[in-house]
A and B are shown apart, each in its own frame.
Chain A
Amino acid sequence: MPRAELTKLQNERLRAVVKRVYENVPFYKKKFDEMGLKPEDICSIEDLTKLPFTNKQDLRDNYPFDLFAVPMDEVVRIHASSGTTGKQTVVGYTKHDLDIWGEVMARTLGAGGVTKKDIGHISYGYGLFTGGMGGNLGSETVGCATIPASTGNTRRQVTILQDFKPTFILATPSYALTIAEYLAENNIDPASLSLKAGFFGAEPWTEEMRREIENRFQIKAYDIYGLSEAIGPGVAYECECQHGLHVNEDHFLIEIIDPDTGEQLPDGTEGEIVFTCMTKEALPLIRYRTHDVGVRLPGECECGRTFVRMQKPAGRTDDMLIIRGVNVFPSQIESVLMDIEGIAPFFQMVVERDGNLDKLTVLVEMTEDAFTDEIRILEDMTRKVTEAIHSVLGIAVRVKLVEPRSIERFEGKAKRVIDKRTQVNF
């Protein structure tokens, strides 16, 4: 689509969504009114900066459904991701939203050469997490035979790869490498599989990991980007040039802002990624602050697509960690520990990559109050903390009691996170 035409479409869609949220979401009406802003004040994407930001906290404050812009009987799907205090970030979709999701995911797959003749193997987790269902939807929208393999049980995954002969796979990069390792251990030649392409995302990975996946599977590995608050996977995708991710700009407006001042930054400058969902009906977020650090790449892509490209996000503006595709905040661990008697407020999260799997260890400082000569009681305590953290985060964790004052302090506060994964990219 030529740029001028795209801009015209964006202007129309932005005007429409601003009107919709003002009329249907009390949160936005209140915010606009407080700012003295009327929907008519927004004529084009040039006026975007007049609009207020939406933060993750706003989703929490309006938990679970108060930011929805349609009545619940219009909603056909709910997804959720973990929040900071055990409260999840809930997102909803109308039938039309699912069509959009299918479309943007289909574009993602199409850009990697997938056609309806292909067979898709979806190894993202199915459930409240958007990865599995989103990948599934995209694959079916293209018209591919789609295998909802979900994640885990690597041996069965490999049997499916061998017998069903899928031609492309969707997985977290680390799980893809787990599968690759299984192939190597069992002397299965990746060339004997039918895979041609893979679409990987939902956790930090580097160019080195991409090369490794490409070598080990002998496929082309594409990066995909998304977040449930926008729609899930499919917000931005890589084309054959593999030089930045094209943002589906007919649905999502991308801005890069200075995280401190909130000011919009020019293309080529690093800042916080902000999205506005123009076409979604159930949860059309306005200027949603992702806390992902990114860059809008200037210039056009050699592939000929006019959609602007963003660089693979290079970190976070907040303390969120992505562990095995799950969003984890140190404050979640803190609130769990606070609820357990006799546990010190000093803890440290150590994130490592064991083989290809992220591993989280939480070190908890022992206190004299909690200490007892009975091993059984200490082990019970460790187990209690382990289970409580597991139930809040949804991922397995190892809890280790450590000596008091053994955790490194920084200006009196314990250093909360040690991320030993070499991958810093999202």
Chain B
Amino acid sequence: MLLKQISVFVENRHGAIRDIAGVLANAGINIRAMSIADTADFGIVRLIVDKRKEALSALRENGMTVKETDVLALSVPDRPGAMYEALTALAASEVMIEYSYGFVSPINGEATCILRCDDQEKALGCLTSKGFKLLTAEEIK
């Protein structure tokens, strides 16, 4: 199950990320997870939110550059070696991970790992066939 993540373009300036959080706060949107990718001059703020459509329009209305990206939300059991097993499965299928960040699922309290891979469909197939649980948009709400 692929999940939609929101990516927002930000310049490296004071308050840039605060502005994004402010727009979402005003729109009554709950941020589930956030990650920041940075370069020397700009950054990309990646967000998993509860109400994606509303978040997108609120950000756009405030003049922000946004894009939706497919990611995987892998539920990782709370025990040593669980992450290793998932990554071993991906490695065996020759899937490359581009980036990843985590948060704790509000549903089952388990660690959730957001994954962006070079081949999302392949990653999805590989993880589900190995019995790993992937969260849906519904489960993130």
A405 touches B67 (CB 8 A): no
Other-chain contact of B63, A372, A382, A401, A404 (Cβ < 8 Å): A404
Interface string of B29-42 (1 = CB under 8 A from A): 00000000101011
Q: Mostly helix, strand, loop or mixed at chain A's interface?
A: loop
Instruction: Decide if B44 is an interface residue (CB 8 Å cutoff).
Output: yes
**Which residues of A sit under 8 angstroms from B44, Cβ to Cβ?**
373, 375, 378
Query: B37 touching A375 by the CB < 8 A rule?
Result: yes
Within 8 Å CB of B60, what residues of A? 368
B65 within 8 A of A: yes
Closest Cβ neighbor of B41 among chain A residues: A400
Nearest CB of chain B from residue A28's CB, rounded to whole Å: 50
- Given that A371-B65, A371-B67, A403-B65 are contacting pairs, would A379 and B39 also be in contact in the complex, using a CB cutoff of 8 Å? yes
B27 to chain A, nearest CB (A): 19
Q: A403 to chain B: closest CB distance in Å?
A: 5
Q: Which residues of B contact A371 (CB under 8 A)?
A: 7, 9, 65-67
The 8 A CB mask of A198-230 against B (1 = contact, 0 = none) is 000000000000000000000000000000000
Q: Are A368 and B37 in contact (CB under 8 A)?
A: no
Contact across chains for B64 and A403 when beta carbons are under 8 A apart = yes
A367 touches B69 (CB 8 A): no
- A385 CB contacts on chain B under 8 angstroms: none
A-B pairs with beta carbons under 8 A, tally: 52
Please give the distance in Å from B130's CB to the nearest CB on chain A.
26
8 Å CB contacts to B: which residues of A48-88?
A: none
Majority secondary structure of chain B interface residues (helix, strand, loop or mixed): strand
B123 in the interface (beta carbon within 8 A): no
Does B3 interact with chain A (Cβ within 8 Å)? no
Scan residues 47-72 of chain B and give those whose CB is less than 8 A from a CB of chain A: 60, 63-67, 69
Residue among B5, B16, B37, B65 making CB contact with A366, cutoff 8 Å? B65
Query: Residue of B at shortest CB range from A367?
Result: B65
- A405–chain B nearest beta-carbon distance, Å: 5
Does A375 contact B67, Cβ atoms closer than 8 Å?
A: no
* A368 vs B16: C-alpha distance when bound (angstroms): 17
Min CB distance A104 to B, Å, is 46
Q: How far is the CA of A374 from the CA of B7 in the complex (A)?
A: 10
- Is A424 part of the contact surface with B, judged by Cβ < 8 Å? no
The B-contacting residues of A in range 325-382, CB under 8 angstroms, are 366-368, 371-375, 378-379, 382
State whether B69 touches A401 (Cβ < 8 A). no
| Contacting residues, chain A, for B37 (C-beta < 8 A) | 375
Instruction: Assess whether B11 is interfacial by the CB under 8 Å rule.
Output: yes
Inter-chain CA distance A405–B46, complex, in Å, is: 21
The 0/1 profile, CB within 8 Å of B marked 1, for residues 397-415 of chain A is: 0001111111000000000
A375–B99 CA distance with the chains assembled, in angstroms: 11
Chain A residues, CB < 8 A from B98: 374
B68: min CB distance to chain A, Å: 9
Q: Residue of A at shortest CB range from B5?
A: A373
A404 to B9, CA, bound (A): 9
Nearest to B6 among chain A residues (CB) is A373
Nearest neighbor of B10 in chain A, beta-carbon distance: A403
A12 to B44, CA, bound (A): 69
A374 to B9 Cα, complex, angstroms: 11
What chain B residues lie within 8 Å of A406 (beta carbons)? 11
* Chain A CB within 10 Å, residue with most, of B9, B44, B98: B9
With both chains docked as a complex, state the minimum distance between the C-beta of A68 and any C-beta of chain B, in angstroms.
Answer: 46
The CA of A97 and the CA of B42, in the complex, are separated in Å by 52
Bound CA span A401–B13, Å: 12
Shortest beta-carbon distance, B72 to chain A, in Å?
A: 14
Tell which of A372, A378, A404 touches B42, judged by Cβ atoms closer than 8 Å.
Answer: A378
Assess the A373–B7 pair: CB atoms within 8 A: yes
Residues 1-26 of chain B, each 1 if its beta carbon lies under 8 Å from chain A, else 0: 00001010111000010000000000
Inter-chain contact A373/B69, CB cutoff 8 Å = yes
Shortest distance between the CB of A240 and any CB in chain B (Å): 49
Which residues on the A side are within 8 Å of B5 (C-beta)? 373
Contacts A/B (CB < 8 Å), 29 sampled: A366-B42, A367-B65, A368-B60, A368-B67, A371-B7, A371-B9, A371-B66, A372-B67, A373-B5, A373-B7, A373-B44, A373-B46, A373-B69, A373-B116, A375-B37, A375-B39, A378-B42, A378-B44, A382-B41, A400-B11, A400-B42, A401-B11, A403-B11, A403-B64, A403-B65, A404-B64, A404-B65, A405-B63, A406-B11
- A residues sitting closer than 8 Å to B (CB atoms) are 366-368, 371-375, 378-379, 382, 400-406
Beyond contacts A371-B66, A375-B44: 18 other A-B pairs, Cβ-Cβ < 8 A, are: A368-B60, A368-B65, A368-B67, A371-B9, A372-B7, A373-B5, A373-B7, A373-B69, A374-B98, A375-B37, A378-B42, A379-B39, A400-B41, A402-B42, A403-B9, A403-B10, A405-B63, A406-B11
